[in-house]
C-alpha cells in the first residue's frame, strides 16, 4: 500500500545558525594560523658576501644569493606597521635583489644594517657633452 503523503527533512533546515557560523570561521582561522607560522619560519641571514633565505613549514626552502652591495634603501610603513613595528624595506642594489623584504619585523634595524653595506660610487665618471 502506498502512503498518501511523504514528509522529508530539509537539508538546509538541518543546518543551524551556529553550525554555519563555525564553518565560515574555522577555515579562515586555519589559514591565518598557517600564514603566521609561515611568516615566523621566513628568515633572512646576511653575511659579508652572501644572503641566505630560509622558509617553509612543511617543505623547507633554502636560497643563497651573492651580496654585492646596496645603493639605496627605503622603509615603507602603514599605521599598523608603525604601531606593531613592521614594514616593507625597499632595496636598490648592484645586480638583482630577489629577497622578499615585505612585512619585515623592525624594518628600521634592517635599513640601518643595509646602509652600512652601501657601495660608494665614483664621482669621476661624468657625462661628456658633445
Q: Summarize pLDDT for 42-97 with one digit per residue, the tens.
A: 999 988 888 889 998 888 999 998 888 888 899 999 999 999 999 999 988 877 77
pLDDT value, residue 127: 55
Task: Kindly report the backbone phi and psi dihedral angles of residue 116, in degrees, each rounded to the nearest multiple of 5, phi listed first.
Answer: -75, -15
Residue 125 has pLDDT above 60, yes or no: no
Task: Read off the pLDDT of each residue in 26-50 and give the average, rounded to a whole number.
Answer: 88
Q: How many CA atoms lie within 13 A of 53 on its CB side?
A: 15
Query: CA-based angle 56:106:53, to the nearest 5?
Result: 30
CA dist 120 and 118 (Å) reads 6
CA angle 83, 89, 94 (to 5 degrees): 170
Give me the DSSP letters along 30-58: HHHHHHHHHHHT-EEEE-SSEEEEEE-SS
Amino acid at each position: 500500500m502506498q502512503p498518501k503523503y511523504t514528509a522529508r527533512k530539509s537539508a538546509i533546515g538541518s543546518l543551524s545558525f551556529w553550525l554555519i557560523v563555525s564553518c565560515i570561521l574555522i577555515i579562515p582561522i586555519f589559514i591565518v594560523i598557517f600564514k603566521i607560522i609561515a611568516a615566523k619560519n621566513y628568515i633572512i641571514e646576511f653575511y659579508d658576501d652572501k644572503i641566505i633565505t630560509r622558509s617553509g613549514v612543511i617543505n623547507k626552502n633554502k636560497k643563497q644569493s651573492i651580496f654585492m652591495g646596496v645603493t639605496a634603501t627605503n622603509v615603507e610603513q602603514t599605521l599598523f606597521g608603525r604601531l606593531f613595528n613592521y614594514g616593507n624595506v625597499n632595496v636598490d642594489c648592484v645586480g638583482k635583489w630577489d629577497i622578499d623584504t615585505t612585512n619585515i619585523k623592525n624594518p628600521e634595524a634592517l635599513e640601518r644594517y643595509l646602509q652600512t653595506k652601501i657601495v660608494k660610487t665614483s664621482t669621476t665618471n661624468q657625462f661628456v657633452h658633445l
